[in-house]
Amino acid sequence: MTAEDRSETVDREAQSSQSDYPDQSVPIEAIYETMEDLGRPIITASELGRQLNCSQHEAETILDVYTTDKKLNTFDVSADPVVWYPSDLNAVAKRERIVLFPTRREIVVDQPTQYTRAQLSQFAHLVDSTGTDPGTRGYLYRIRPEDVWAAPFDDTESLLRSVRSVLPRQSPHLEEWITDQWERAHQFTLKTHPDGYVVLEAATENLMGNVARQKLSDEQLHAPISDTESWVRDEAIGTLKRTLYEAGYPVVDNRKLETGAPIEIELTATLRDYQQAWMDMFLTQKAGIYVGPPGSGKTIAALGTLTAIAGETLILVPSRELATQWRDEICTHTTVDPRNVGEYHGGEKDISPITIATYQTAGMDRHRHLFDSRKWGLIIYDECQHIPSNIFRRSADLQAVHRLGLSASPVREDEKEAEIFTLIGPPIGTDWAALMEAGFVAEPEIEIRYVPWRDEIKRNEYSSADGRQRYQLASMNPAKIDEVRYLLARNNSSKALIFVEYLDQGKAIADALSIPFLSGETPHYERQRLLSEFKTGETKTLVVSRIADEGLDLPNAELAIVASGLGGSRRQGTQRAGRTMRPAGSSIVYVLATRGTREEDFAQRQLRHLAGKGIKIREANISE
C-alpha cells in the first residue's frame, strides 16, 4: 500500500461535519481551486472532503451536482477511488498534468505533449481518453506485463529512464514491478548452435529446472545440453514459445533465421520516420506485428521490411481482391521484376519468389505444399487479427522464418493474443493520436445519430421480440432509410460508403435510394467493377455488407454511414471507422442507432473504445 493509496483511505470519523459550505452550495471555482492546490486537474471525493471539511459522502454529493450539469466528468478508472475532472480542462489545466496511480499502474495525463505520448506508447497502452479537442484531452494509460515485455529498449535502465522522464515523481513500487516484468521477458533465449540446431537457454539453472523442464514435454525440450541449456526440435518451437509465454516468460528469439533464396528488389517509396522505426524494431526482433490505424502505412512499411530481407516472401491475405491490391502495391513501390510476383488462390496458382496467397487457399490440405515449396525468408500475415486457426498450426512450424503481422485492430483485445504473440511476435505500434496529429491518418469525426422508430408498429414489434431478434429489429429500423437519404443529401459532394450488417437491410437501402449494393453475394467481376468505379468517382455511393470490413481494401471515402453492425465487434468498429480514416482530408462517420434500444448501448460502448484511440465522438438526437 503506497503513501498515496493510504492517503485515499479516508478516516471518515475524523471528517468533522462542520463543512465550510453547510448547504453544500459549493461554487465550482472552489473545486477548481482545490485541484490547482493539488497540482492536478482531477480530484477524488475524499480529497475534496478533506479540503472542505466535510464527509466523503457529502463531497461525492457536491461533485455529482456538477457532474449532472456537465461541469465535471468522471474517469472510468479500474477501481475506487473514482476521479472527477473538469469537462473543460482549460478551466484548470494550463499545461500538461500527469498523475500516477502506482498500485493500479495507471497514469492519467492531461494535455500531454507529443514527447510524453511517444514515451508512454512505448511502455503503456492507452485505455481511454476524454474531451474532444487535442488541447483539452485527458488520457488514461495502463501498464500491463505485455507492454513491458514488448517495450523497445535494450536494457532495464533505458526503459526506466523513459518511464522516469514522463512521470511526475519516481515510484519505487512501480519501478520494481517494471524491472521484474522486464527481467521475466529476458530469462529464456532461443539461439542457433554452431552445429545448426536450436538451443533454449535459461538465465539460471533453477529456471531451466523448475519452469522450462516442468512445463515443456520431452518432444519440445529434446535433450539437455547443460544445466541451463536444452536442445529444441524445430517443429516444437511454436508451442514452446506459447507455453513459456503463458507461464509469464516470453522467449527472446535470437536464432539465425532463414532469409530465403535472395531476390533482386529495392523499395522506391521513402519510409516515414515511424515506419522506419517499426522496421528497425522488427529486424531486431525478427518477428512482430505492425499495429496502426487503417491507412497509416502498414503495407508500405511491410514492403520496406520485405526489401530489407530481400528473400523469397509469402504474403497471406484475407481475400482475392486484397491479393491483387498487394501485387499492385509491390509493383508500384519496389523495383521487383513483376514476373517474380505471383498470386495463389481460387483464381490462379502461381508460386513465385514473392507469392501472395489467401488464408482460405493456404489453409487447405491440398495446398499445404505452398508453405514448404520455397525457402521463404519472410511470411507476412495481413489483417493478422483474424488468422484462421489452421493457418496458425500450419505456419507455426515455419518458425525459422521472419514473421510479420499487420493489424489495424488492437491486437491486445483479441482472445488469440497468446497465439498471435508467439506465432508472429509482439505488437510494434505507435500512438494513433500521434499519427493523426502528424497528418498521416485523417482523424475521422464520429457522430452517433439516435433514430426514432418509424412507427408504433415497429416499436411494439421490438418490445415483444426476444434478445437477438431485438438487436436485429433495432438495426433494421426502416426509419434509418430516410436518415441515410438525409445525410447523403447533406453531404452530397462526398464519396460515401453505407455499411450494413444485414443483407435485407442493404437491399432495402440500395433499392430505396437506387445505390449499388456490394455484398458476399456479388460476383467477383461485378465486385471489381463496382470498386473501380467507386475509386474513379464514377459511382459516388456504395452500400456494402460485412464483407467490406476486412476483406476488401476499400478506396478512400470522405463519408461513412454505419446503418447497422457497429455493435458487432470492437475490431469491426475500428475497421469501419477506419475505412474513412485514409489520409484524404477530413472524414466523418455517422453511426445510426435506434433510440432506446440495445443498439444504442452497443454503439456507445463501441465508440468509447474508439474515443480511447483519441477519436472525436459527437451525439445527435433525431426528432420523431
Ligand X SMILES: Nc1ncnc2c1ncn2[C@@H]1O[C@H](COP(=O)(O)OP(=O)(O)OP(=O)(O)O)[C@@H](O)[C@H]1O
Positions in the binding site for ligand X (CB under 6 A): 269-272, 275, 292, 294-300, 408, 553, 583
Q: Which is nearer to ligand X, 194 or 439 (CB)?
A: 439
Q: Are 578 and 564 in contact (CB under 8 A)?
A: no
Q: Which is nearer to ligand X, 312 or 553 (CB)?
A: 553
Cα(45)–Cα(62) distance, integer angstroms: 9
CB of 223 to ligand X, least distance (A): 44
Cα(36)–Cα(42) distance, integer angstroms: 9
Q: Which is nearer to ligand X, 131 or 295 (CB)?
A: 295
* 82 CB-near residues (< 8 Å, 6+ apart): 44, 45, 74, 75
CB of 547 to ligand X, least distance (A): 15
Q: Which is nearer to ligand X, 112 or 292 (CB)?
A: 292
With DSSP H G I counted as helix, E B as strand and the rest as coil, what are the percentages for the chain, rounded to 5?
45, 20, 35
CB of 564 to ligand X, least distance (A): 22
Any alpha helices (H) in 185-314, and if so which ranges? 205-207, 213-215, 237-246, 273-285, 298-309
Q: Are 559 and 588 in contact (CB under 8 A)?
A: yes
Q: Which is nearer to ligand X, 305 or 597 (CB)?
A: 305
Cα(15)–Cα(53) distance, integer angstroms: 6
Q: Are 356 and 315 in contact (CB under 8 A)?
A: yes
CB of 325 to ligand X, least distance (A): 8
CB of 370 to ligand X, least distance (A): 23
422 backbone φψ class: left, alpha, beta (φ>0; ψ -120 to 50): alpha
In the block, residue with C-alpha cell 502506482: 102
Q: Which amino acid is at 336?
A: V
Q: What phi and psi, each to the nearest 5 degrees, are found at residue 529?
A: -65, -50
CB of 424 to ligand X, least distance (A): 16
Rounded to the nearest angstrom, the gap between the alpha carbon of residue 517 and the centroid of all alpha carbons in its chain is: 29
Q: Which is nearer to ligand X, 17 or 270 (CB)?
A: 270
Q: Which is nearer to ligand X, 295 or 565 (CB)?
A: 295
CB of 462 to ligand X, least distance (A): 35
CB of 68 to ligand X, least distance (A): 41
Q: Which is nearer to ligand X, 516 or 583 (CB)?
A: 583
Q: Which is nearer to ligand X, 329 or 397 (CB)?
A: 329
Cα(546)–Cα(569) distance, integer angstroms: 11
CB of 27 to ligand X, least distance (A): 49
CB of 559 to ligand X, least distance (A): 17
Nearest Cα to Cα of residue 83 among 112, 126, 40 = 40
Q: Which is nearer to ligand X, 86 or 444 (CB)?
A: 444
Q: Going along 39-164, which residue ranges are E strands?
A: 72-75, 83-86, 97-101, 106-110, 125-130, 138-142
Q: Which is nearer to ligand X, 224 or 583 (CB)?
A: 583
Rounded to the nearest angstrom, the gap between the alpha carbon of residue 34 and the centroid of all alpha carbons in its chain is: 36
CA distances from 420 to 79, 322, 416 (A): 29, 21, 6
CB of 438 to ligand X, least distance (A): 12
Q: Are 397 and 283 in contact (CB under 8 A)?
A: no
